[in-house]
Amino acid sequence: MNAVKTAFLMALMMGLFLLIGYLLGGNTGLTIALVFSIIMNFGSFWFSDKIVLAIYRAKQVNRETAPKFYDMVERLAKQANLPMPKVYLINDPTPNAFATGRSPKKAAVAATTGILQGLSNDELAGVMAHELAHVKHRDTLIGTIAATLVGSISYIAHMAGWIFMFGRGDDDSPGAGIGGLVLLILSPILAMLLQMAISRSREFAADRGGAEISGGPLALASALQKISRGNQLKPVNHSEPASAHMFIVNPLRGGGISKLFSTHPPTEERIKRLNAMAR
């Protein structure tokens, strides 16, 4: 099923680039967009994890540089019957974490320095087990490709604004101005719906999987509460809307009606389910 979702995302990315190419340059733009979309799909499959880690300036650590944290991840990976992932730290005081990689053998987990300092050992184990559950469920490839796609949609929305203002009127690109307006309106909505569809259901599954791996649903529930509070006070540095769905808790501030369109399910509901699991 995840292979089907991945293929769908990559096809969607290609379709969007072909559309914007046609609107910008007619048949010539369509050809250029086809080449560009092939490059984007290739890059998103092989390098999207490295791109996301680079955005947040994550540094790889090992047993010598972060022994306690590295040993914890290694122990949890064994409990989950997973290969040892690469381990990264993000120098940021706000607590949060995410997993990435195109397969369990190529997986990486990343955590902020703030989460290591702000959580107890059991809470931190619950969080990292949650991320390993994403790896085990093979969510990470979909998540990183989706991040690339959402970033591309944001770029398309920007280009659509220019199309609308300076839409070509020649025969090779008919209706460019109107098409640009449609893209300008629909692109952010599409990006939001895509993130919601990708993220919301898989977070519940990863919470359950993480609680089973770590053996501490209450510790994970407590961690979620602390992380949510911390990110509301101060978002993670360099937070990008395109990759927000990858974190265990949304790293962007949100309130009012924006909560209805959050990339994550409500933290209160996640905590409620974990408490019920403990009972």
The residues annotated as belonging to the active site are 131
- CA 182, CA 207: separation in Å to the nearest integer? 38
3-state secondary structure of 97: strand
Half-sphere exposure of 273 (CA within 13 A, CB side): 16
From residue 182, how far is each of 50, 188, 254 by CA, in Å? 33, 11, 26
Contact between residue 160 and residue 20 where contact means Cβ atoms under 8 Å apart: yes
Please give the DSSP secondary-structure letter assigned to residue 107.
-
Cα 276 from chain centre = 27
Contacts of 160 (CB under 8 A, 6+ apart): 20, 23, 179, 180, 181, 182, 183, 184, 187
